[in-house]
Amino acid sequence: MAEKNKKLRHVGFIMDGNGRWAKKRNKPRTFGHKKGADAIIDVLEECFDSGVEVVSLYAFSTENWSRPKDEIDTIFDLLGTFLKKYSKKLFEKKSRLVISGDLSPVSKELRERCERLMADTAHFTDHVLNIALNYGSRVELVRAFNSLKDKQGDITEEDISGALYTKGLPDIDLVVRTSGEMRLSNFFLWQCAYAEYYFTDVLWPDFNKEQTKKAIEWFYSRNRRFGGIENA
């Protein structure tokens, strides 16, 4: 249901292609993840400066546990380092951190850092950074349905939306997936029901402010076309 001149409130990024980026340079996959983590800062800045309210990042899926242990450890280390570095920005920009996913299997240190930062930024309303960590949309939906099973009367869409990790956030308007793959990969299936999908061959470590701007411009051009006759 794309609407004419719909405002871009929520962008979701499926950050794909770190491994291929590294392989092209004869480097280990972990090097690609490091560069991928570095790329996030500029992408967030461009989104928030362009008026986007919520950015969701797919950092680690429930399926990613099948990767080699050193790669998993690197991704979690990068997340910890990123949160340490980015926490200052969250306060500066009055941005709330949301972590979507089950934190119970991650290290105590990372879990506590996430929980502390979520609690300390919970009152901010200017922007939201939502990180999908040990996240899978089907698991999220099952968890939501189970939490509603004792509800009296019919379950509504609002009940389900309110039982997801993204409770209170607007639906995703734009999904950006890098590296040429055209799949949703269990990324916020419920929240993406009306999203536009932007696929680019650019590998995530090369995704930058310019690329972000292009995706945002594409979203607005797409919605204008969908709305039919301008000024009607």
> What is d(CA 198, CA 85) in angstroms, rounded to the nearest whole number?
29
Binding segment toward ligand FPP, per CB under 6 A, in 43-51, 77-85, 97-105, 149-157? 77-85
Q: Which of 6, 10, 16, 187 binds ligand FPP (CB under 6 A)?
A: 16
- Strand 10-14, strand 54-61: pairing: parallel
Q: Which of 18, 95, 137, 223 binds ligand FPP (CB under 6 A)?
A: 18
Tell me the per-residue interface mask from 155 to 194 with ligand FPP, x by CB under 6 A, - otherwise. ------------------------x---------------
HEC profile for 186-220?
Answer: CCCCCCCCCCEEEECCCCHHHCCHHHHHHHHHHHH
Is residue 90 within the footprint of ligand FPP (CB under 6 A)?
Answer: no
> What is d(CA 147, CA 160) in angstroms, rounded to the nearest whole number?
9
Cα-Cα-Cα-Cα dihedral sign, residues 161, 165, 166, 168: positive
CB of 154 to ligand FPP, least distance (A): 37
Binding segment toward ligand FPP, per CB under 6 A, in 35-43, 111-119, 169-177, 187-195? 35-43
Tell me the per-residue interface mask from 92 to 131 with ligand FPP, x by CB under 6 A, - otherwise. ---------------------------------------x
Mapping DSSP to helix (H, G, I), strand (E, B) and coil, where does residue 15 land? coil
Mapping DSSP to helix (H, G, I), strand (E, B) and coil, where does residue 105 land? coil
Catalytic residue among 5, 38, 49, 64: 64
Instruction: Using the structure block, give the residue that is written with the tokens 């009940």.
Output: 159
Binding segment toward ligand FPP, per CB under 6 A, in 56-64, 143-151, 156-164, 223-231? 56-64
- Tell me the backbone φ, ψ of residue 18, rounded to 5 degrees: -60, -45
Half-sphere exposure of 102 (CA within 13 A, CB side): 15
Which residues are catalytic, by number? 16, 64
Query: Would you tell me which residues interact with ligand FPP (CB under 6 A)?
Result: 15-20, 33, 36-37, 40, 57, 59, 64, 75, 78-79, 82, 131, 179
